Amino acid sequence: MAPGRGGNHPKTVGSAASARAVSRETTSGGRSNVIDAIDDSSPIARELAHETKRRERLVGRQLPRPDKTRIFTVSNQKGGVGKTTTTVNIAAALAAAGLNVLVIDIDPQGNASTALGIEHHADVDSIYDVLINDVPLADVVAPCPDIGKLICAPATIHLAGAEIELVSLVAREQRLRRAIDVYAKTREKNGEERLDYVFIDCPPSLGLLTVNAFCAASEVLIPIQCEYYALEGLSQLLKNIEMIQKHLNADLVVSTILLTMYDGRTNLAAQVAAEVRQHFPDQVLSAVVPRSVRISEAPSYQQTVMTYDPSSSGALSYLEAAAEIAER
């Protein structure tokens, strides 16, 4: 069973001064504890100072509203690269900045729904009903309990069979796109503010659900894990996107690439990052998401890291990524 929501989590990052004062105990030989040796030139102090400067750059920054709704498909057919984590945390960061954000979860596992605290058991109307039974998206979306202006269309286990059911339907590749268009008109008719961002969280495959996401979006956000296997899968993903552009959605562009699970202690991570930046200089964000225990823990509390531990390095990285996306 998942732990209760909330929890008692640390909310502050210490300063370099507090790091130096962590322990003043002495050893039996009368020498200072090794922590006493920490000064401004130590790795810990440098890291703390660097994070403080990064936070200062974000304080008070107003994120601009896009001229029209930006629809992102977050996709990578390789599993475990941080698609869902990236989707929910960037969405949460943008919503916390006052922008209207919709997350559409089309992964049968429903992990994005879990992270946003949205019910997605078998009895809940979900994106499955939108795609297969023509239920309006407006009847499916639910508000995120922790973040205002963030709503989610949840996924249920029924999506596992949707690939097969979609095959026989008319305009099977365009069903999600039409549902989003109708929802936008419904919001306008009801006098609601238009959506600023839509993020579609895809399953780790290139089936009809992912094709629907590509046809509905104007931009692709690709999270890339900083490991060698991630590069192998990228070329196949780009070939599939080219096919979508040629036959189904000429407006689709790969606009954003985010490096995730970066481990600064390894040469491999630096090499992968450098190679991706060399091949995609305009698409790769400056922000890099590190490996983070806090990011991994947050979903077990049905939260994003933005609310679970906003002072963590992971939350800071996603805030930077969201700001970069908004200002592009």
Which residues are paired to 258 by β-bridges?
223
For residue 117, the SS3 value is: coil
Domains annotated on the chain, with CATH: 69-327 (3.40.50.300)
Return d(Cα 115, Cα 154) in angstroms, integer: 11
pLDDT tens, per residue, the chain with 328 residues: 445 554 444 443 343 333 333 333 333 444 444 334 445 566 677 667 766 767 766 766 788 999 999 999 999 888 888 899 999 999 999 999 999 999 999 999 999 999 999 999 888 899 999 999 999 999 999 999 989 899 999 999 999 999 899 999 888 999 999 999 999 999 999 999 999 999 999 998 888 999 999 999 999 999 998 887 777 778 888 998 999 999 999 999 999 999 998 887 888 888 888 988 988 999 999 999 998 899 999 999 999 999 999 889 899 999 999 999 999 8
Which residue in 228, 304, 232, 230 sits closest to 267, CA to CA?
228
pTM of the model: 0.83
Element (H, E) at 318: helix 313-327
Cα angle 72, 285, 193 (rounded to 5 degrees) comes to 35
Q: Quick one: the chain helix, strand, coil %, rounded to 5?
A: 45, 15, 40
Q: Parallel, antiparallel, or unpaired for β 150-153 and 70-74?
A: unpaired
Q: Measured in Å, how far apart are the chain's first and last C-alpha atoms? A: 41
